[in-house]
Amino acid sequence: SMAGTGRRSIGGKGAGRAAAPMTQTAGTFLPIRELSPYTNGRWKIKARVVAKGEIRKFSNARGEGQLFKVDLKDKSGEIAGTFFGRAVDIFYPMLQQGQVYCFTRGSIKAGNPRWDRSEHVITFEEHSTIEAAENDEGIPGQTFDFRPLCELEQMATNTLVDVKAVLFSVQEPYTFTARTSGKEMTKRELGLWDASGGDGGRTSELVLWGDKALGRFEVGSVVFLKDARVNEWNGSKTLASPMNIEMNPDAPEAFQLRARFEEQQRIRPIVGAARGGGGGQRKSIEEIKAEDVNLGVAVPGQAFEQGGPRMANRHFAVATVTSVPADRLPCYPSCPESVDAKPRLGAEATQQPEKRQCAKKCMQEGDGVWRCAMGHVCQQPQYRYICRMQVMDHTDSTEINMFDEVGKKLFGCEASEYAQAFEGDGVEHINKNVLWRRISMRMRSTKEVWQENERVKLNVEEAGDVDFRKEAKQMLAEVHASLGVAGS
Ligand SMILES: [Zn+2]
Protein backbone atom coordinates (compact mmCIF):
# COMPACT_ATOMS: atom_id res chain seq x y z
CA SER A 1 0.00 0.00 0.00
CA MET A 2 1.06 3.55 -0.72
CA ALA A 3 -0.70 4.87 2.37
CA GLY A 4 1.52 6.82 4.69
CA THR A 5 4.30 7.33 2.19
CA GLY A 6 3.24 10.91 1.65
CA ARG A 7 2.95 10.35 -2.07
CA ARG A 8 0.00 9.05 -3.96
CA SER A 9 0.22 7.38 -7.31
CA ILE A 10 -2.37 8.72 -9.67
CA GLY A 11 -1.67 6.50 -12.61
CA GLY A 12 -3.81 3.50 -11.85
CA LYS A 13 -3.94 0.30 -13.85
CA GLY A 14 -2.93 0.54 -17.45
CA ALA A 15 -1.62 4.03 -17.01
CA GLY A 16 1.86 3.52 -18.31
CA ARG A 17 4.38 3.88 -15.52
CA ALA A 18 2.11 6.04 -13.42
CA ALA A 19 1.69 3.34 -10.78
CA ALA A 20 5.39 2.92 -10.11
CA PRO A 21 6.33 4.76 -6.91
CA MET A 22 9.23 7.17 -7.08
CA THR A 23 11.97 6.85 -4.58
CA GLN A 24 14.11 9.85 -5.45
CA THR A 25 14.76 12.48 -2.86
CA ALA A 26 13.97 16.10 -3.60
CA GLY A 27 17.59 16.72 -4.49
CA THR A 28 17.37 14.69 -7.68
CA PHE A 29 14.64 16.78 -9.23
CA LEU A 30 15.76 18.87 -12.13
CA PRO A 31 14.80 22.55 -11.91
CA ILE A 32 12.31 23.43 -14.67
CA ARG A 33 14.64 26.20 -15.81
CA GLU A 34 17.21 23.57 -16.84
CA LEU A 35 14.85 21.52 -19.02
CA SER A 36 15.57 21.76 -22.73
CA PRO A 37 15.33 19.56 -25.82
CA TYR A 38 18.95 18.61 -25.04
CA THR A 39 18.22 17.35 -21.53
CA ASN A 40 19.72 13.89 -21.38
CA GLY A 41 18.57 10.85 -19.52
CA ARG A 42 15.53 10.32 -17.43
CA TRP A 43 14.80 13.71 -15.91
CA LYS A 44 12.28 14.26 -13.16
CA ILE A 45 10.66 17.48 -12.09
CA LYS A 46 8.55 18.34 -9.09
CA ALA A 47 6.07 21.04 -9.96
CA ARG A 48 2.76 22.62 -9.14
CA VAL A 49 -0.05 22.56 -11.71
CA VAL A 50 -0.78 26.28 -11.66
CA ALA A 51 -3.24 26.18 -14.56
CA LYS A 52 -5.17 23.43 -16.29
CA GLY A 53 -7.01 23.96 -19.57
CA GLU A 54 -10.05 22.14 -20.89
CA ILE A 55 -9.98 19.14 -23.24
CA ARG A 56 -9.96 20.17 -26.88
CA LYS A 57 -10.93 17.81 -29.68
CA PHE A 58 -9.44 18.18 -33.12
CA SER A 59 -9.29 16.25 -36.34
CA ASN A 60 -6.45 15.93 -38.80
CA ALA A 61 -5.31 13.55 -41.52
CA ARG A 62 -4.73 10.82 -38.92
CA GLY A 63 -8.25 11.09 -37.57
CA GLU A 64 -9.79 12.46 -34.41
CA GLY A 65 -7.58 13.64 -31.59
CA GLN A 66 -7.74 15.34 -28.23
CA LEU A 67 -5.44 17.40 -26.05
CA PHE A 68 -5.28 19.49 -22.91
CA LYS A 69 -2.64 21.81 -21.53
CA VAL A 70 -1.22 22.61 -18.13
CA ASP A 71 1.18 25.21 -16.79
CA LEU A 72 3.76 23.67 -14.45
CA LYS A 73 5.79 25.68 -12.00
CA ASP A 74 8.62 25.16 -9.54
CA LYS A 75 10.97 27.53 -7.72
CA SER A 76 13.12 27.95 -10.84
CA GLY A 77 10.53 28.66 -13.50
CA GLU A 78 7.48 27.66 -15.46
CA ILE A 79 6.84 25.34 -18.40
CA ALA A 80 3.78 24.39 -20.42
CA GLY A 81 2.76 20.76 -20.71
CA THR A 82 0.51 19.22 -23.35
CA PHE A 83 -1.25 15.87 -23.11
CA PHE A 84 -2.38 14.05 -26.23
CA GLY A 85 -4.60 11.08 -26.99
CA ARG A 86 -4.81 8.38 -24.31
CA ALA A 87 -2.75 10.55 -21.97
CA VAL A 88 -5.77 12.88 -21.82
CA ASP A 89 -8.04 10.07 -20.60
CA ILE A 90 -5.48 8.98 -18.02
CA PHE A 91 -4.24 12.26 -16.61
CA TYR A 92 -7.01 14.82 -17.13
CA PRO A 93 -9.23 13.47 -14.33
CA MET A 94 -6.26 13.09 -11.98
CA LEU A 95 -4.35 16.33 -12.25
CA GLN A 96 -5.84 18.93 -9.94
CA GLN A 97 -5.04 22.56 -10.34
CA GLY A 98 -2.95 23.89 -7.46
CA GLN A 99 -1.54 20.47 -6.51
CA VAL A 100 2.10 19.39 -6.62
CA TYR A 101 3.22 16.34 -8.63
CA CYS A 102 6.36 14.60 -9.75
CA PHE A 103 6.61 14.32 -13.53
CA THR A 104 8.86 12.24 -15.71
CA ARG A 105 8.95 10.59 -19.14
CA GLY A 106 7.73 13.45 -21.22
CA SER A 107 9.45 14.78 -24.32
CA ILE A 108 10.74 18.32 -24.28
CA LYS A 109 10.74 20.52 -27.32
CA ALA A 110 10.96 24.19 -28.16
CA GLY A 111 7.70 26.02 -27.61
CA ASN A 112 5.89 27.56 -30.53
CA PRO A 113 5.84 31.29 -29.80
CA ARG A 114 2.48 31.42 -31.57
CA TRP A 115 0.86 29.10 -29.04
CA ASP A 116 3.10 28.80 -26.00
CA ARG A 117 4.24 31.32 -23.48
CA SER A 118 7.16 29.27 -22.18
CA GLU A 119 10.39 28.73 -24.08
CA HIS A 120 10.01 24.95 -23.93
CA VAL A 121 7.03 22.64 -23.67
CA ILE A 122 6.70 19.08 -22.42
CA THR A 123 4.57 16.63 -24.34
CA PHE A 124 3.14 13.89 -22.15
CA GLU A 125 2.11 10.55 -23.60
CA GLU A 126 0.25 7.70 -21.99
CA HIS A 127 3.58 6.22 -20.87
CA SER A 128 4.55 9.32 -18.95
CA THR A 129 4.80 8.97 -15.21
CA ILE A 130 3.08 11.39 -12.89
CA GLU A 131 2.52 10.98 -9.21
CA ALA A 132 1.08 13.23 -6.58
CA ALA A 133 3.48 14.73 -4.07
CA GLU A 134 2.86 16.33 -0.73
CA ASN A 135 2.21 20.03 -0.96
CA ASP A 136 5.51 21.88 -0.95
CA GLU A 137 5.17 25.45 0.30
CA GLY A 138 8.48 26.22 -1.37
CA ILE A 139 6.89 25.81 -4.79
CA PRO A 140 5.06 29.01 -5.66
CA GLY A 141 1.43 29.02 -6.72
CA GLN A 142 -0.03 30.74 -9.72
CA THR A 143 1.31 34.19 -10.33
CA PHE A 144 -0.16 36.68 -12.73
CA ASP A 145 1.47 39.22 -14.96
CA PHE A 146 -1.58 41.43 -15.40
CA ARG A 147 -1.92 43.65 -18.43
CA PRO A 148 -4.52 46.43 -18.58
CA LEU A 149 -7.33 46.20 -21.13
CA CYS A 150 -6.27 49.53 -22.63
CA GLU A 151 -3.15 47.78 -24.01
CA LEU A 152 -5.17 45.08 -25.74
CA GLU A 153 -5.48 46.86 -29.09
CA GLN A 154 -1.66 47.06 -29.36
CA MET A 155 -1.12 43.36 -28.69
CA ALA A 156 -0.42 40.83 -31.42
CA THR A 157 -3.09 38.26 -32.17
CA ASN A 158 -2.58 34.96 -30.29
CA THR A 159 -0.61 36.60 -27.49
CA LEU A 160 -1.38 34.99 -24.14
CA VAL A 161 -2.14 37.54 -21.43
CA ASP A 162 -3.18 37.66 -17.81
CA VAL A 163 -6.04 40.05 -17.13
CA LYS A 164 -7.87 41.17 -14.01
CA ALA A 165 -11.29 42.60 -14.68
CA VAL A 166 -14.89 42.88 -13.52
CA LEU A 167 -17.71 41.13 -15.40
CA PHE A 168 -20.09 43.88 -16.48
CA SER A 169 -22.20 41.64 -18.71
CA VAL A 170 -22.85 37.92 -18.68
CA GLN A 171 -24.60 36.19 -21.57
CA GLU A 172 -26.18 32.77 -21.37
CA PRO A 173 -24.15 30.00 -22.99
CA TYR A 174 -25.47 28.90 -26.36
CA THR A 175 -24.93 25.77 -28.35
CA PHE A 176 -24.82 25.68 -32.12
CA THR A 177 -23.62 23.44 -34.91
CA ALA A 178 -20.41 24.61 -36.54
CA ARG A 179 -21.04 25.16 -40.23
CA THR A 180 -17.71 23.74 -41.38
CA SER A 181 -17.27 20.71 -39.12
CA GLY A 182 -20.90 19.92 -38.29
CA LYS A 183 -19.88 19.64 -34.62
CA GLU A 184 -21.88 20.97 -31.68
CA MET A 185 -20.14 23.88 -29.99
CA THR A 186 -20.97 25.73 -26.81
CA LYS A 187 -20.02 29.37 -26.64
CA ARG A 188 -20.46 32.13 -24.11
CA GLU A 189 -19.64 35.81 -24.17
CA LEU A 190 -18.74 37.83 -21.10
CA GLY A 191 -18.10 41.56 -20.93
CA LEU A 192 -14.89 42.57 -19.12
CA TRP A 193 -14.21 45.96 -17.59
CA ASP A 194 -11.14 47.39 -15.93
CA ALA A 195 -10.25 50.90 -14.80
CA SER A 196 -7.37 51.34 -17.26
CA GLY A 197 -6.95 54.00 -19.91
CA GLY A 198 -8.78 56.75 -18.04
CA ASP A 199 -12.23 58.10 -18.89
CA GLY A 200 -14.27 55.43 -17.14
CA GLY A 201 -12.05 52.47 -17.95
CA ARG A 202 -11.98 49.99 -20.80
CA THR A 203 -14.14 47.06 -21.83
CA SER A 204 -13.45 43.96 -23.85
CA GLU A 205 -15.20 40.78 -24.78
CA LEU A 206 -14.20 37.41 -23.36
CA VAL A 207 -15.30 34.33 -25.29
CA LEU A 208 -15.46 30.99 -23.52
CA TRP A 209 -15.92 27.61 -25.19
CA GLY A 210 -16.96 24.14 -24.09
CA ASP A 211 -17.07 23.28 -20.39
CA LYS A 212 -15.61 26.63 -19.40
CA ALA A 213 -18.65 28.33 -20.96
CA LEU A 214 -20.93 26.51 -18.53
CA GLY A 215 -19.39 27.98 -15.37
CA ARG A 216 -21.31 30.15 -12.94
CA PHE A 217 -20.71 33.82 -13.74
CA GLU A 218 -22.35 36.89 -12.29
CA VAL A 219 -22.28 40.53 -13.22
CA GLY A 220 -20.02 42.39 -10.78
CA SER A 221 -17.68 39.44 -10.14
CA VAL A 222 -13.94 40.01 -10.29
CA VAL A 223 -12.06 37.56 -12.50
CA PHE A 224 -8.33 36.87 -12.73
CA LEU A 225 -7.64 35.33 -16.13
CA LYS A 226 -4.51 33.26 -16.75
CA ASP A 227 -3.24 32.99 -20.32
CA ALA A 228 -6.23 34.41 -22.17
CA ARG A 229 -5.65 34.45 -25.91
CA VAL A 230 -5.82 37.72 -27.82
CA ASN A 231 -8.06 37.33 -30.85
CA GLU A 232 -8.93 39.71 -33.60
CA TRP A 233 -12.50 40.01 -34.67
CA ASN A 234 -13.33 42.41 -37.48
CA GLY A 235 -10.41 44.64 -36.67
CA SER A 236 -11.09 44.64 -32.95
CA LYS A 237 -9.18 42.76 -30.26
CA THR A 238 -11.04 40.38 -27.97
CA LEU A 239 -9.99 37.73 -25.45
CA ALA A 240 -10.76 34.03 -25.52
CA SER A 241 -10.20 30.70 -23.80
CA PRO A 242 -8.11 31.55 -20.75
CA MET A 243 -6.23 28.63 -19.30
CA ASN A 244 -7.71 29.41 -15.92
CA ILE A 245 -10.32 31.74 -14.44
CA GLU A 246 -10.12 32.67 -10.78
CA MET A 247 -13.51 33.96 -9.63
CA ASN A 248 -13.64 36.63 -6.93
CA PRO A 249 -10.09 36.01 -5.71
CA ASP A 250 -9.42 36.74 -2.07
CA ALA A 251 -6.89 39.46 -2.90
CA PRO A 252 -6.67 43.17 -2.07
CA GLU A 253 -6.34 44.12 -5.74
CA ALA A 254 -9.59 42.27 -6.47
CA PHE A 255 -11.43 44.20 -3.74
CA GLN A 256 -9.99 47.47 -5.04
CA LEU A 257 -11.09 46.74 -8.59
CA ARG A 258 -14.57 45.80 -7.48
CA ALA A 259 -14.84 49.07 -5.53
CA ARG A 260 -13.75 51.04 -8.62
CA PHE A 261 -16.39 49.22 -10.66
CA GLU A 262 -19.16 50.00 -8.20
CA GLU A 263 -18.09 53.62 -8.10
CA GLN A 264 -18.11 53.72 -11.90
CA GLN A 265 -21.57 52.16 -11.97
CA ARG A 266 -22.84 55.05 -9.83
CA ILE A 267 -21.32 57.72 -12.07
CA ARG A 268 -21.79 56.24 -15.54
CA PRO A 269 -23.09 52.66 -15.66
CA ILE A 270 -21.40 50.29 -18.05
CA VAL A 271 -24.30 48.64 -19.83
CA GLY A 272 -24.57 46.83 -23.12
CA ALA A 273 -22.36 44.46 -25.02
CA ALA A 274 -18.62 44.85 -24.87
CA ARG A 275 -16.85 46.50 -27.76
CA GLY A 276 -16.14 43.72 -30.18
CA GLY A 277 -19.09 41.97 -28.62
CA GLY A 278 -21.19 39.21 -30.06
CA GLY A 279 -24.39 41.21 -30.00
CA GLY A 280 -25.53 39.76 -26.71
CA GLN A 281 -27.54 42.67 -25.41
CA ARG A 282 -30.79 43.55 -27.05
CA LYS A 283 -30.81 46.77 -29.05
CA SER A 284 -33.59 48.76 -30.68
CA ILE A 285 -33.54 49.21 -34.45
CA GLU A 286 -32.80 52.88 -33.89
CA GLU A 287 -29.75 51.97 -31.77
CA ILE A 288 -28.58 49.47 -34.37
CA LYS A 289 -28.76 52.07 -37.14
CA ALA A 290 -26.93 54.63 -35.02
CA GLU A 291 -24.15 52.14 -34.29
CA ASP A 292 -23.84 51.02 -37.92
CA VAL A 293 -23.31 54.57 -39.17
CA ASN A 294 -19.68 54.24 -38.03
CA LEU A 295 -18.98 51.00 -39.87
CA GLY A 296 -16.11 51.03 -42.34
CA VAL A 297 -16.48 49.66 -45.85
CA ALA A 298 -14.50 46.46 -46.24
CA VAL A 299 -12.28 46.45 -49.31
CA PRO A 300 -11.65 42.87 -50.49
CA GLY A 301 -8.04 41.81 -50.10
CA GLN A 302 -7.15 44.75 -47.91
CA ALA A 303 -5.98 44.14 -44.36
CA PHE A 304 -7.81 45.67 -41.43
CA GLU A 305 -6.36 48.93 -40.32
CA GLN A 306 -5.11 48.98 -36.74
CA GLY A 307 -7.42 51.17 -34.71
CA GLY A 308 -9.52 51.89 -37.81
CA PRO A 309 -13.31 51.62 -38.02
CA ARG A 310 -15.06 48.33 -37.32
CA MET A 311 -15.95 46.32 -40.42
CA ALA A 312 -18.93 44.54 -38.92
CA ASN A 313 -21.21 44.81 -35.93
CA ARG A 314 -23.18 42.14 -34.14
CA HIS A 315 -26.66 42.89 -32.92
CA PHE A 316 -29.39 41.22 -31.02
CA ALA A 317 -32.90 42.61 -31.50
CA VAL A 318 -36.55 41.77 -31.08
CA ALA A 319 -38.85 42.97 -33.85
CA THR A 320 -42.01 42.16 -35.77
CA VAL A 321 -41.95 41.00 -39.39
CA THR A 322 -44.07 43.44 -41.40
CA SER A 323 -43.57 42.11 -44.91
CA VAL A 324 -42.43 38.99 -46.71
CA PRO A 325 -41.88 38.67 -50.46
CA ALA A 326 -45.26 37.88 -52.03
CA ASP A 327 -44.67 37.90 -55.77
CA ARG A 328 -41.45 35.92 -56.00
CA LEU A 329 -39.74 32.95 -54.41
CA PRO A 330 -37.82 33.60 -51.18
CA CYS A 331 -35.46 30.84 -52.28
CA TYR A 332 -33.36 29.74 -55.24
CA PRO A 333 -32.34 26.46 -56.87
CA SER A 334 -28.84 25.73 -55.55
CA CYS A 335 -26.11 23.36 -56.70
CA PRO A 336 -25.89 20.28 -54.40
CA GLU A 337 -22.30 19.43 -55.45
CA SER A 338 -19.81 18.95 -52.59
CA VAL A 339 -16.67 21.10 -52.81
CA ASP A 340 -13.64 21.83 -50.61
CA ALA A 341 -14.26 24.58 -48.10
CA LYS A 342 -11.70 27.34 -47.73
CA PRO A 343 -9.30 26.39 -44.94
CA ARG A 344 -10.12 28.25 -41.77
CA LEU A 345 -7.72 30.82 -40.42
CA GLY A 346 -5.32 29.10 -38.05
CA ALA A 347 -6.24 25.60 -39.22
CA GLU A 348 -3.29 23.24 -39.22
CA ALA A 349 -1.89 22.35 -42.61
CA THR A 350 -2.23 18.68 -41.76
CA GLN A 351 -6.00 18.97 -41.49
CA GLN A 352 -8.00 17.57 -44.34
CA PRO A 353 -9.96 20.22 -46.22
CA GLU A 354 -13.50 20.48 -44.95
CA LYS A 355 -16.36 19.96 -47.37
CA ARG A 356 -19.23 22.27 -48.05
CA GLN A 357 -22.05 22.49 -50.53
CA CYS A 358 -21.30 24.46 -53.72
CA ALA A 359 -24.71 26.17 -53.35
CA LYS A 360 -24.28 28.36 -56.43
CA LYS A 361 -27.43 29.16 -58.33
CA CYS A 362 -28.44 26.56 -60.93
CA MET A 363 -30.09 27.28 -64.25
CA GLN A 364 -32.27 24.72 -65.95
CA GLU A 365 -30.98 23.65 -69.34
CA GLY A 366 -32.99 22.37 -72.26
CA ASP A 367 -32.14 18.72 -71.71
CA GLY A 368 -33.72 18.61 -68.25
CA VAL A 369 -30.46 19.01 -66.32
CA TRP A 370 -29.39 21.93 -64.16
CA ARG A 371 -26.01 23.61 -64.30
CA CYS A 372 -24.32 26.02 -61.87
CA ALA A 373 -21.80 28.77 -62.66
CA MET A 374 -18.98 26.39 -61.67
CA GLY A 375 -20.14 23.99 -64.37
CA HIS A 376 -21.49 21.33 -61.98
CA VAL A 377 -24.42 19.45 -63.45
CA CYS A 378 -27.29 17.91 -61.50
CA GLN A 379 -30.72 16.40 -62.09
CA GLN A 380 -32.35 18.00 -59.10
CA PRO A 381 -31.18 21.26 -57.55
CA GLN A 382 -31.64 21.88 -53.85
CA TYR A 383 -33.74 24.91 -52.99
CA ARG A 384 -32.26 27.25 -50.39
CA TYR A 385 -33.85 30.25 -48.75
CA ILE A 386 -32.50 33.69 -49.48
CA CYS A 387 -34.79 36.61 -48.92
CA ARG A 388 -35.29 40.12 -47.65
CA MET A 389 -37.94 41.09 -45.16
CA GLN A 390 -39.03 44.21 -43.37
CA VAL A 391 -39.04 44.22 -39.58
CA MET A 392 -40.20 46.90 -37.18
CA ASP A 393 -39.98 47.70 -33.50
CA HIS A 394 -41.15 50.67 -31.41
CA THR A 395 -38.30 52.85 -32.69
CA ASP A 396 -37.88 52.22 -36.41
CA SER A 397 -38.07 49.70 -39.23
CA THR A 398 -35.38 48.09 -41.34
CA GLU A 399 -34.70 45.53 -44.01
CA ILE A 400 -33.07 42.23 -43.06
CA ASN A 401 -31.56 39.41 -45.13
CA MET A 402 -31.93 35.79 -44.23
CA PHE A 403 -30.55 32.58 -45.59
CA ASP A 404 -31.40 28.90 -45.56
CA GLU A 405 -31.01 27.92 -41.89
CA VAL A 406 -32.98 30.89 -40.59
CA GLY A 407 -35.51 30.61 -43.42
CA LYS A 408 -36.26 26.97 -42.59
CA LYS A 409 -36.77 27.86 -38.96
CA LEU A 410 -39.09 30.79 -39.59
CA PHE A 411 -41.13 29.47 -42.53
CA GLY A 412 -41.33 26.08 -40.84
CA CYS A 413 -40.51 24.05 -43.93
CA GLU A 414 -37.73 23.28 -46.38
CA ALA A 415 -37.28 25.75 -49.22
CA SER A 416 -38.13 22.98 -51.73
CA GLU A 417 -41.57 22.62 -50.13
CA TYR A 418 -42.01 26.36 -50.41
CA ALA A 419 -41.02 26.29 -54.09
CA GLN A 420 -43.50 23.46 -54.70
CA ALA A 421 -46.33 25.31 -52.96
CA PHE A 422 -45.45 28.44 -54.92
CA GLU A 423 -46.02 26.54 -58.18
CA GLY A 424 -49.12 24.81 -56.81
CA ASP A 425 -51.66 25.77 -54.16
CA GLY A 426 -49.99 28.99 -53.09
CA VAL A 427 -47.82 29.97 -50.15
CA GLU A 428 -50.18 32.02 -48.01
CA HIS A 429 -50.38 29.31 -45.35
CA ILE A 430 -46.56 29.20 -45.16
CA ASN A 431 -46.07 32.98 -45.15
CA LYS A 432 -48.53 33.13 -42.25
CA ASN A 433 -45.80 31.51 -40.10
CA VAL A 434 -43.62 34.57 -40.54
CA LEU A 435 -45.75 37.62 -41.29
CA TRP A 436 -46.59 39.68 -38.17
CA ARG A 437 -44.57 37.34 -36.03
CA ARG A 438 -42.46 38.84 -33.24
CA ILE A 439 -39.02 37.29 -33.39
CA SER A 440 -35.67 37.62 -31.69
CA MET A 441 -32.70 37.85 -34.03
CA ARG A 442 -28.93 37.76 -33.90
CA MET A 443 -27.62 39.80 -36.78
CA ARG A 444 -24.37 40.83 -38.38
CA SER A 445 -24.21 44.16 -40.14
CA THR A 446 -21.70 45.25 -42.75
CA LYS A 447 -21.43 48.28 -44.96
CA GLU A 448 -21.02 48.08 -48.71
CA VAL A 449 -20.96 50.45 -51.61
CA TRP A 450 -23.73 49.89 -54.11
CA GLN A 451 -24.20 52.16 -57.11
CA GLU A 452 -21.90 54.71 -55.48
CA ASN A 453 -23.99 54.78 -52.33
CA GLU A 454 -23.01 53.32 -48.99
CA ARG A 455 -25.57 51.01 -47.54
CA VAL A 456 -25.70 48.78 -44.50
CA LYS A 457 -26.61 45.13 -44.90
CA LEU A 458 -28.18 43.32 -41.96
CA ASN A 459 -27.84 39.54 -42.18
CA VAL A 460 -29.81 37.43 -39.73
CA GLU A 461 -27.62 34.63 -38.39
CA GLU A 462 -30.05 33.22 -35.88
CA ALA A 463 -33.76 33.80 -35.31
CA GLY A 464 -36.48 32.38 -33.16
CA ASP A 465 -39.29 33.09 -30.77
CA VAL A 466 -38.75 35.64 -28.05
CA ASP A 467 -37.43 34.09 -24.85
CA PHE A 468 -39.36 36.13 -22.31
CA ARG A 469 -37.53 34.66 -19.32
CA LYS A 470 -34.13 35.62 -20.74
CA GLU A 471 -35.47 38.99 -21.86
CA ALA A 472 -36.77 39.74 -18.38
CA LYS A 473 -33.47 38.76 -16.75
CA GLN A 474 -31.60 41.01 -19.14
CA MET A 475 -33.87 43.95 -18.45
CA LEU A 476 -33.59 43.36 -14.71
CA ALA A 477 -29.79 43.36 -15.02
CA GLU A 478 -29.99 46.70 -16.83
CA VAL A 479 -32.19 48.13 -14.09
CA HIS A 480 -29.72 46.88 -11.47
CA ALA A 481 -26.79 48.32 -13.37
CA SER A 482 -28.44 51.72 -13.67
CA LEU A 483 -29.07 51.70 -9.92
CA GLY A 484 -25.44 50.86 -9.26
CA VAL A 485 -26.31 47.46 -7.82
CA ALA A 486 -24.14 44.60 -8.98
CA GLY A 487 -26.23 41.49 -9.43
CA SER A 488 -27.47 39.19 -12.12
ZN1 LIG B 1 -21.94 23.96 -58.30
d(CA 347, CA 140): 36
**By residue range, what is the domain housing residue 416?**
285-333+384-467
Does residue 2 fall inside a structural domain?
Answer: no
**Start-to-end CA span in the chain (Å):** 49
Give the residue from 132, 164, 194 where a domain finishes. Answer: 132
Are 315 and 427 part of one and the same domain?
yes
Question: What's the rounded mean pLDDT across residues 306-311?
Answer: 62
Are 122 and 198 part of one and the same domain?
no
- Measured in Å, residue 416 CA sits from the centre of ligand 1 at 18
Are 128 and 12 part of one and the same domain?
yes
Are 167 and 235 part of one and the same domain?
yes
Are 36 and 127 part of one and the same domain?
yes
- Measured in Å, residue 339 CA sits from the centre of ligand 1 at 8
Question: What's the rounded mean pLDDT across residues 251-259?
Answer: 93
| C-alpha torsion angle, residues 465, 470, 471, 474 (rounded to 10) | -150
Residue-wise pLDDT for 200-248, tens only, equals: 788 899 999 888 888 889 889 999 999 999 988 766 789 999 988 999 9
Q: Is the pLDDT at 122 greater than 50, yes or no?
A: yes
- Measured in Å, residue 373 CA sits from the centre of ligand 1 at 6
- Measured in Å, residue 217 CA sits from the centre of ligand 1 at 46
Does residue 479 fall inside a structural domain?
Answer: no
- Measured in Å, residue 380 CA sits from the centre of ligand 1 at 12
Does residue 143 fall inside a structural domain?
Answer: no
- Measured in Å, residue 359 CA sits from the centre of ligand 1 at 6
Question: What's the rounded mean pLDDT across residues 287-302?
Answer: 78
More confident residue, 326 or 12: 326
- Measured in Å, residue 27 CA sits from the centre of ligand 1 at 67
Does residue 487 fall inside a structural domain?
Answer: no
Does residue 404 fall inside a structural domain?
Answer: yes
- Measured in Å, residue 244 CA sits from the centre of ligand 1 at 45
- Measured in Å, residue 332 CA sits from the centre of ligand 1 at 13
- Measured in Å, residue 357 CA sits from the centre of ligand 1 at 8
Q: Is the pLDDT at 71 greater than 50, yes or no?
A: yes
Let me know: does 79 contact 72? Beta carbons within 8 Å.
Answer: yes
Are 125 and 98 part of one and the same domain?
yes
Question: What's the rounded mean pLDDT across residues 116-140?
Answer: 89
Are 43 and 180 part of one and the same domain?
no
Let me know: does 292 contact 456? Beta carbons within 8 Å.
Answer: yes
Q: Is the pLDDT at 318 greater than 80, yes or no?
A: yes
Are 249 and 393 part of one and the same domain?
no
Q: Is the pLDDT at 486 greater than 60, yes or no?
A: no
- Measured in Å, residue 234 CA sits from the centre of ligand 1 at 29
Given this model, what pLDDT does residue 484 score?
58
- Measured in Å, residue 220 CA sits from the centre of ligand 1 at 51
d(CA 290, CA 163): 31
Question: What's the rounded mean pLDDT across residues 412-416?
Answer: 95
Are 327 and 442 part of one and the same domain?
yes
- Measured in Å, residue 361 CA sits from the centre of ligand 1 at 8
- Measured in Å, residue 379 CA sits from the centre of ligand 1 at 12
Predicted complex ipTM exceeds 0.90: yes
- Measured in Å, residue 286 CA sits from the centre of ligand 1 at 39
Given this model, what pLDDT does residue 353 score?
63
Does residue 55 fall inside a structural domain?
Answer: yes
Does residue 53 fall inside a structural domain?
Answer: yes
- Measured in Å, residue 344 CA sits from the centre of ligand 1 at 21
- Measured in Å, residue 348 CA sits from the centre of ligand 1 at 27
Are 326 and 445 part of one and the same domain?
yes
Question: What's the rounded mean pLDDT across residues 343-372?
Answer: 75
d(CA 455, CA 76): 58
- Measured in Å, residue 369 CA sits from the centre of ligand 1 at 13
- Measured in Å, residue 60 CA sits from the centre of ligand 1 at 26
Assign residue 86 the CATH number of its domain: 2.40.50.140
- Measured in Å, residue 370 CA sits from the centre of ligand 1 at 10
Q: Is the pLDDT at 7 greater than 70, yes or no?
A: no
- Number of structural domains, the chain? 4
- Measured in Å, residue 382 CA sits from the centre of ligand 1 at 11
Let me know: does 213 contact 148? Beta carbons within 8 Å.
Answer: no
- Measured in Å, residue 381 CA sits from the centre of ligand 1 at 10
Q: Grade residue 303 by pLDDT with cuts at 50, 70 and 90.
A: low
- Measured in Å, residue 372 CA sits from the centre of ligand 1 at 5
Q: How far is CA 434 from CA 101, 274, 332, 427, 464, in A?
A: 60, 31, 19, 11, 11
Q: Is the pLDDT at 9 greater than 60, yes or no?
A: no
Does residue 210 fall inside a structural domain?
Answer: yes
- Measured in Å, residue 365 CA sits from the centre of ligand 1 at 14
Q: Grade residue 487 by pLDDT with cuts at 50, 70 and 90.
A: very low
Question: What's the rounded mean pLDDT across residues 75-79?
Answer: 93
Are 407 and 443 part of one and the same domain?
yes
- Measured in Å, residue 482 CA sits from the centre of ligand 1 at 53
Are 290 and 168 part of one and the same domain?
no
